[in-house]
Amino acid sequence: MARFCGAIDERTQDFENSSIAYSVDALGISIGSLMGCPPVTAYIESGAGISEGGKTGLTAMFSGLCFFIAIFFAPIFASIPPWATGCTLVIVGSLMATSAKDINWRYLGDSIPAFLTIAVMPFTYSIAYGLIAGICSYMLINTIVWIIEKASSGRIVPPNKDEKEPWTWRLEGGLLPPWMKRLASGKKSFWKADPQTEGVAEPRSEGSSAHNEKEFVTDKQA
């Protein structure tokens, strides 16, 4: 969701107050589990609200208020047929599909796990099974490629191996959130964003959608 609304810093791959957001998300999941409710977490459906401009906590507060009011009208809302809300799911699905353009389809070690993740989810009616299929296939394919490449001294490599999507856990910004590093350095206004950690704004084209106020350039260099 942070990347969808343009809050991700492409240099550090993090966003401001990320630790607070993760803590609130984990707390909501824990409370929901104790109450026997579905996981109270951020779903991709939130992208519909972000596309309309809701990018702050005020949007979440009003959504929670509407859910609270809906409790007293549950029998009326339960009588609404599922096909009446299907159009909203189509919009959410189209927003989800836009992320597929960022997949590296040139290298099979990246494209096959991504395809399996996308395909397994609707066929099994489970997001978890889709993630398991994608992660396991990614590890299996790239491990086999690495073993064959090492065993053949680099003579046997799959096509477009040089176009593999690079990744590393050693981020330039480090593992600690930006506000914690500013606090450790003695900065008094540690809660304010440091201009040096801002992402690089990508110039928008004429055909770009109007609701994306800020887009960022992804640094693909390892």
* Mean pLDDT, the chain cut into blocks of 10 residues (222 residues total): 75 73 84 81 71 76 87 86 80 79 89 93 89 94 92 86 77 66 76 56 44 42 42
Contact assessment for residue 71 and residue 78, using Cβ atoms and an 8 Å cutoff: no
CA–CA separation, 99 and 22 (whole Å):
22
13-21 contact pairs (CB < 8 A, 24+) = 13/171, 13/173, 14/171, 14/173, 14/177, 14/178, 16/178, 16/179, 16/193, 17/177, 17/179, 17/191, 18/177, 19/177, 19/179, 19/180
Single out the residue of 14, 3, 17, 37 nearest to residue 183, CA to CA.
17
Q: How far apart are CA 57 and CA 10, in angstroms?
A: 23
- The pLDDT value given to residue 124: 92
Q: What is the pLDDT of residue 130?
A: 92
**In this predicted structure, what is the pLDDT of residue 170?**
67
Q: Among positive and negative, which fits the CA dihedral 200, 96, 129, 7? A: positive
pLDDT the model gives residue 204: 45
Q: What is the pLDDT of residue 115?
A: 94
pLDDT at 210: 39
Total-model pTM? 0.59
